A and B are shown apart, each in its own frame.
Chain A
């Protein structure tokens, strides 16, 4: 009789076990952490402990690697280690919030309105546990920038595509809307276009609505952002006259106008496509001569961007080949190898001209 009764409850028990297991992670992550007061060194409280938990969830901002303050041993006291971790957090996130470069602000270690806002918004918008927030941040890698091919097994080409500083921070529309993140423009998909053409702007801080693309002070177009506000697509209006313009973006949080940039975007009936680099190699006759092959190069005004320096006013007679000596790159001369140890240096090459810039870095290995 007893056996029969227990057997009858078996399906129910099984369902309860499964339910408990399935809902356990959600019950742990549902309680999003809120920071409702400013925090500074010397403060104590449960929110300090929560602050350390959030900081410890990101390997870039851990409070301590071991002992008190480390992951699982967070304390309620805001000490020097917490302050240092907060400063790292601010160095990562505040440039985005303030719309400035990563090296242009000084973190304070004081958890004020802006820092609290970032901490809260990350928790609320993501609606996941802090560790998942970190995972999302680290995995939010754009796929539109291919990784260069590996040509030498000695040097490890990064396996992840380049990220913008903004993408590192899992930027969201929520942040842009609430904390007034000023829009920022990094580059455009093309720098020459005709009326009706689609152009994409890469940057950050673009809002869900109300982004206006300006062509100098005379023309405007609506901009349509992607889901995380890092790109903005617009159509060159038919009303825009041919000519050169300083294109910038404005929305409720500010604009990207920079008068020092000048007029760089050309509207023309016959726009050229951006340069494309297909291969970079060293000349077989001169090991210090770099040969860049591709298409859409300008006849006389190409600029090479590379990690070894920038060289301007380069010609390409056929529009497909550029030859340049390594000694023209300023950083080439500064390379200081360890004496007696031959090694290879990766050189990443972009070609830029008035029509645009090649979108992917092309790799060539230089032997020293």
Chain B
């Protein structure tokens, strides 16, 4: 009996001690200064360059897609486009690339760090 229990214990400890692998991506927090928002003419969303961008790296771009990205504060539906010279705080999902520029039938992707899921902005124009 002891051997059975010992066997189960050993097998279980080996199999269940394997670290879990995260299958889903998570939202990451970010903050930054909107240096230039650029409209993606094929995908109808915005490629935003943040400089500085927090946390590292100090410069990065994210994609803002209306309805997929939730705006707060001064990014209301009345002002759907991301505004330059504003500071933003929010969350994003790293990886997916969704900004396409050009004119159909010729669209090409512009790389970015990820897609914004939610973002809030300061009133534009207040720069340090």
Contact = CB atoms under 8 A, between A and B. Distances in A.
A39 B111 CA distance: 37
B58 to A, nearest CB: 5
B108 A357 contact: yes
A345 B110 CA distance: 13
B106 A361 contact: no
Given A154-B57, A163-B97, A187-B107, A13 B24 contact: no
Contact of A343 (B38, B52, B100): B52
Of listed A138, A141, A336, residue having the most chain B CB within 10 A: A336
A109 to B, nearest CB: 11
Given A134-B25, A345-B35, A107 B67 contact: yes
Nearest to A256: B105
B68 A345 contact: no
A91 B93 CA distance: 15
Interface residues of A, number: 81
B40 to A, nearest CB: 9
Contact of B24 (A134, A305, A308): A134
B79 interface: no
A187 B45 CA distance: 18
Contacts, number: 207
A10 B4 CA distance: 6
B111 A60 contact: no
Contacts of A310: 101-102
A186 B97 contact: no
Contact of B38 (A60, A164, A247, A308): A308
A336 B35 contact: yes
Contact of A88 (B44, B49, B68, B112): B68
B65 A13 contact: no
Given A21-B15, A188-B106, 16 more contacts: A10-B4, A13-B7, A14-B7, A88-B68, A92-B68, A101-B42, A103-B43, A156-B59, A156-B60, A165-B98, A264-B106, A305-B102, A334-B84, A337-B51, A343-B59, A352-B102
Interface of A: 2, 6-7, 9-10, 13-14, 17-18, 21, 57-60, 62, 84, 87-88, 90-92, 101-107, 131-132, 134-135, 138, 141, 145, 147-148, 154-158, 160-165, 168, 185-188, 191, 247, 256, 258, 261, 264, 305-308, 310, 331, 334-339, 341, 343-346, 348, 350, 352, 357, 361
